[in-house]
Amino acid sequence: MDAAAEVRYLSLAGPGPRAGRILVVDADRQRLGLLEEGRLKAEYRISTGAAGIGGEDGSFRTPPGWHRIHARIGEGAPAGAVFRERVATGAVWEGEPLGEDLILGRILTLDGLEPGVNRGPGVDSLQRTIYIHGTNQPGLLGTPASHGCVRMACEDVLELFDRVREGDRVLIARGPMGRLHFAGAGGSGMSALAQFAVREGPVSGSDRGFDQGRNPGGRALLEQAGVAILPQDGSGVQGAAAVVYSTAVEEEVPDIREARRLGIPLLHRSELLAHYVGRYRTLAFSGTSGKSTSVAMAFEILRGAGRDPSVITGGDLRALRAQGLLGNAWAGGSDLLVIEADESDGSLVRYRPAVGVVLNLQKDHKAMEEVAAMFATFRAQAREAFCVGDAPNLEALAKDALVFGPGSRADLRCENVEEGPEGCAFTVRGVRFHVPVPGLHNVENALAAIAGCFSVGVPLPAMAAPLAGFQGVARRFQSLGTARGVEVVDDFAHNPAKIAASLRTARHRGTRVLAVFQPHGFGPLRFLRREFVEAFAQGLRPGDRFWMLDVFYAGGTVTRDISSEDVVADIRAQGAPALHAPSREGLVATLAAEARPGDIVLIMGARDPSLTDLAQAVLAALRSPGP
């Protein structure tokens, strides 16, 4: 069941008693939720009054406020039984198209409980003959289209009829969800969701990093977007409709402890995202590499093609940053939403997108067999279409899917691929594409974006110009500048496959590669130790240089049974030029002293926003005239 929808229904119902059954008609979302003892047991698509919400006689509006079920009419009648004036006519609708609106199946009449709102002279819901009933216009469900009653699909009204009784309370409401509080709002995925949630109601957040004075720019942009940033001491939880958290947030965080003490619902980040995925016509991109870039490309293609999409992602789109935004969320005006479906914590199995896309499968956070099983579930839950790369280890997902890639079995096949230091070009079904970001891995990313957009009806020729204008994603092989003939690149690469791709791309742009990597956690370094060693030992040439920083530690309880020195020793044993860098200040000085014209300095790592500061410091040192 949709946990975020449950929070919304409870928020609409308010703080009153929640015992027994309550039907909540959410007029904004055109959904009806059945609550039992405060838990959401069922949810249905509905249609309320086309004229809006209001209780006046003759208004053809759906009356607001609290009601009770006055009568249950039609028990035992055929599913398509036709009613007039709440009386069965004997006719049965069997699905044939009709111009007139019919009242079908079952009827639940509503008696208003609020004088002057839905009860009494001029506004009485019972006298206005307002009720819940089945409809022969199921295609209109999800939009306000009735003459004031609440319409449902025939099969749904039959199910609901059997679950409720006369006297059960019914609330017809609209308005924002109660305040959502995001514990860990500074995280990439959490900050995106917090910004997107602002469009539906008040949002607050907290983050240990903000309390410690880290990332003041990100905090300012969140506040600019409407997210109130509060101390992470538990105080911000009071009065919240729910507390949203991620896998990275520990149980000991004060906001989590206080939410449990107060009985405030806890929503995992993926539960809220799944709520949005179900509400929109969502393109969800998954895979162990390239998700953020493919999401950004798909968003820019859709926007360039005039589709006005929304986006929720973990990477900051430089096109949105140029608009003065944080860059990882945008609320468009259409029903299209582009998201990143994360496999690292298993959350992608919650999503039921319109279009699911899987780029690739490599060892990253989990065993490949475990991730493959999650991809299979993800594929089964795609509502309209599924797209998948043509790698051999994804073949089990390819049946009846749109396959993309360079291979002969691909439906969308890239041909005539040209790779240059500034980007790549390729052809798909006769349409020439140019991607202005370097690396062959970005051809795969672009093909994934093309496949997703193709699945929602965007013609291939309409994608070429937006893709050619793609502005990239922050920290995805982002060139910060050149000084003394040395280019400095800031990159998010943090798993072996991404590191191998980034090193390969850097070799095409520089005479030598001076690479720096910060592992983003003790667990990932331990799990992928052998693969990290292999990636660096094979990706570095004899003239290249490599330094590994200490493992990034964001706080909390972790097992620190591995170090960067351990992995550096393994890499050196393979004959590769690897060094441990215990001091950033010393590393900056070393890089500035060792770099020669034609070199490229590549700073890699995830989760730590200060890595960009390190890259900027290297560039500043190169620009400095020196002693």
Question: Which residues form the catalytic set?
Answer: 133, 149
Residues 595 and 622 sit within 8 Å (Cβ to Cβ):
yes
Residues 6+ apart with CB under 8 A from 250: 256, 556, 557
Q: What are phi and psi of 582, to 5 degrees?
A: -75, -20
231 vs 206: CA distance, rounded Å: 6
H-helix or E-strand containing 568?
Answer: helix 564-573
Strand partners, 152: 46, 134
Q: Could you write out the three-class secondary structure of 262-295?
A: HCCCEEEHHHHHHHHHHHCEEEEEECCCCHHHHH
Residue indicated by tokens 């070009």: 425
370-406 per-residue burial string, b: 16 or more CB within 10 A, e: under 16? ebbebbeebbebbeebbbbbbbeebeebbeebbbbbb
- Amino acid identity at 593: A
Residues 296 and 315 sit within 8 Å (Cβ to Cβ):
yes
- Cα 582 from chain centre: 36
14 vs 484: CA distance, rounded Å: 64
368 vs 288: CA distance, rounded Å: 10
Q: What are phi and psi of 542, to 5 degrees?
A: -55, -35
Residues 377 and 347 sit within 8 Å (Cβ to Cβ):
no
Closest by CA position to 587, among listed 517, 485, 511: 517
Q: Is 222 helix (H, G, I), strand (E, B) or coil?
A: helix
Closest by CA position to 143, among listed 52, 48, 61: 48
226 vs 424: CA distance, rounded Å: 39
Q: Is 192 helix (H, G, I), strand (E, B) or coil?
A: helix
- Amino acid identity at 544: D
549 vs 615: CA distance, rounded Å: 13
Q: Is 428 helix (H, G, I), strand (E, B) or coil?
A: strand
594 vs 515: CA distance, rounded Å: 12
546 vs 413: CA distance, rounded Å: 36
* R_g of the chain computed on alpha carbons: 28
Residues 27 and 171 sit within 8 Å (Cβ to Cβ):
no
